[in-house]
Amino acid sequence: MTNNKQFKLLRLKQLDSRVAKLRAIIPLSTPREGWIKQIREALGITAHQLAGKIGVSQPTLARIEKSEKERTVSLKSLDRIAEALNSKVIYAFIPRETFEKLVRQRALAVAERLVRNVSHSMELEKQGIPEKKRVAQINEIAEELAKGLSRELWENWK
């Protein structure tokens, strides 16, 4: 395996390891009214006071709180409010499983498509291969695709 492939795989494993630490917060759901309003009210800060702290009008803060509730708030707005509250916004993609498994699943799908296309042609010519051998070919190709982490792995991804 080339150094570039090894580096890509190492980077993928490190990313999965880093994200795994965040899995503990997955069950933590966003409050119905949003974090900004919940924290502001828990601290006893009025909307007018927080708006003044971040340099916006109270109606603008109300729009920000509403946009957070609707999941359309900007990260920039969240960062400004977090800074005012001596807090930090954490932004991450946490995979349902692991990114490595996502790569393996994608590699398997691509390999299946490749082998299916070739198998179909061979069957038309009465040269089909046994199912056990076809599955072995799919697994072998998928393993190579996953190791390479090639951009082609994600072509026609739907």
Per-residue model confidence (pLDDT) at position 125: 56
Q: Say yes or no to pLDDT of 145 above 80.
A: yes
Per-residue model confidence (pLDDT) at position 120: 63
pLDDT tens digits for range 70-92: 999 999 999 999 999 999 998 88
Query: Lowest-pLDDT range, 1-5, 35-39, 40-44, 94-98?
Result: 1-5
Annotated domain spans of the chain: 3-16+96-154, 35-84
CATH of 35-84, one of 3.30.390, 1.10.260, 1.10.1740, 1.10.287: 1.10.260
Q: Say yes or no to pLDDT of 6 above 60.
A: yes
- Contacts by 4-9 with C-beta closer than 8 Å and gap 24+? 5/147, 5/148, 5/149, 8/148, 8/149, 9/147, 9/149
pLDDT tens digits for range 98-137: 999 999 999 999 999 888 877 766 555 556 677 888 889 9
Q: Which residues contact 34 (CB under 8 A, 6 or more apart)?
A: 65, 68, 69
Most confident of 88-97, 105-114, 146-155: 105-114
Per-residue model confidence (pLDDT) at position 41: 96
Alpha helices, DSSP H only, in the chain?
A: 3-20, 35-43, 47-54, 58-69, 75-84, 99-124, 131-148
Q: Which residues contact 87 (CB under 8 A, 6 or more apart)?
A: 39
